């Protein structure tokens, strides 16, 4: 079983998540060429090793998260919210909190 640490809910079975894809920088559609745009849309690095991916916690908090996962061992060394989802004034929300904690959220 693969466990993914959700920044809000804590470690959950990977079956609760939907894989979105490798994190890649979106080129400016007004300045990019066809080749670069096609590469952004369809080409993936798919490395053997550490990769940064976006996942969607569809059976939990229904938020996107970014996880660093090793594609050989499925070890996950970090997860965080995408910058666009961070609450105002908050620089980072790594996995934290506890279901039983005062602040809500969860880690087990």
Number of H helices and E strands in the chain, helices first, is 1, 6
Say which residue the tokens 């693969």 belong to: 2
Q: Is 63 in the site for another protein (CB under 8 A)?
A: yes
96 contacts another protein (rule: CB under 8 A): no
CB of 33 to another protein, least distance (A): 37
Please give the torsion angle defined by the CA atoms of residues 102, 67, 53 and 12, in that order, rounded to the nearest 10 degrees. Answer: -70
Nearest-angstrom CA–CA distance, 27 and 74: 29
Among 43, 52, 58, 74, the residue binding another protein under the rule CB under 8 A is 58
Q: Which of 41, 48, 84, 100 binds another protein (CB under 8 A)?
A: 100
Contacting residues toward another protein, per CB under 8 A: 8-9, 12-13, 15-16, 58-63, 87-88, 97-106, 108
């Amino acid at each position: 079983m693969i466990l993914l640490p959700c920044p809000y809910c804590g470690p959950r079975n990977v079956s609760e998540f939907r894989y979105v894809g490798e994190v890649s920088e979106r080129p400016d559609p007004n300045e990019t060429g066809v080749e670069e745009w096609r590469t952004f849309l369809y080409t993936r690095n798919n490395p053997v090793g550490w990769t940064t991916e976006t996942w969607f916690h569809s059976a939990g908090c229904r938020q996107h998260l970014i996880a660093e996962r090793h594609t050989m061992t499925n070890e996950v060394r970090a997860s965080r919210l995408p910058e666009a989802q961070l609450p105002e004034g908050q620089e980072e929300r790594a996995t934290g909190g506890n279901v039983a904690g005062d602040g809500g959220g969860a880690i087990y």
